Amino acid sequence: MSVHVAITRRVRPGHEAEFQRELLEFFQSSLSDPGVRGALLITPSPGSDSREYGILRTFGSTAERDAFYASPKFRAWDQRARVLTEGEPEYRPLHGLETWFRSPGPPPPRWKMALVTFLGVFPVAMTLNLTLGPKIQDWHFLVRHAVFNACVVVLLTWAIMPVLTRILHLWLHSHPTSSTS
């Protein structure tokens, strides 16, 4: 089971381009490390005055994650990054549904995650019931349901949820505005 970590770093003013360049070089050199499954950089929106950068890392296991963060390669990167950033980086492990809704900030409210998950599951389950269902209806109950649910999970994980969360990202991560009466 993959392990996901969201990291937030605040870059010193005027060092944004250098930080991005150094980080992308580190991504390239670290992607071949054992257990590293991927890395993603989230930059502030163009025209924004934010200097917070998000880094999403995926590992094969908690042991591989821990080995990566204890490695000399990571420690050397962390020392270079500290020259270019302010304060301490924030590390936050992502669990369960949060991995579909990952971002460097706090996760969306659970009701939003549940609603988006429903919007993904319902049409997938209905479509599979109409297409796959008739083909496997004579199979043994356990086998039929195992195959059906495996198809739902695969489609949600690699096709539907990445698209839905990308489309609905702004809504998912919007902060409620306070209104005055």
Q: Which two tokens stand for residue 170?
A: 């702004």
- What pLDDT shows up at residue 77? 93
Q: Where are the domains of the chain?
A: 3-95, 110-172
Tens digits of residue pLDDT in 150-170: 888 888 877 888 788 878 888
Separation between Cα atoms, residue 132 and residue 138, nearest integer Å: 12
Tens digits of residue pLDDT in 108-125: 788 888 898 889 999 999
Separation between Cα atoms, residue 168 and residue 158, nearest integer Å: 17
Question: 101 CB contacts (<8 Å, ≥6 apart)?
Answer: 107, 108, 113, 116, 165, 172
Segment (H or E) for 132: none
Which CA distances in Å does 22 have to 28, 91, 124, 127, 163? 10, 19, 41, 45, 29
Taking CA 78 as the corner, what is the angle to CA 73 and CA 84, rounded to the nearest 5 degrees? 135
pLDDT higher at 105 or 12: 12
- What pLDDT shows up at residue 167? 87
Tens digits of residue pLDDT in 4-30: 888 999 999 999 999 999 999 999 999
Q: Is the pTM of this model over 0.85?
A: no
pLDDT higher at 117 or 96: 117
What's the fold here for domain 3-95?
Answer: Alpha-Beta Plaits (3.30.70)
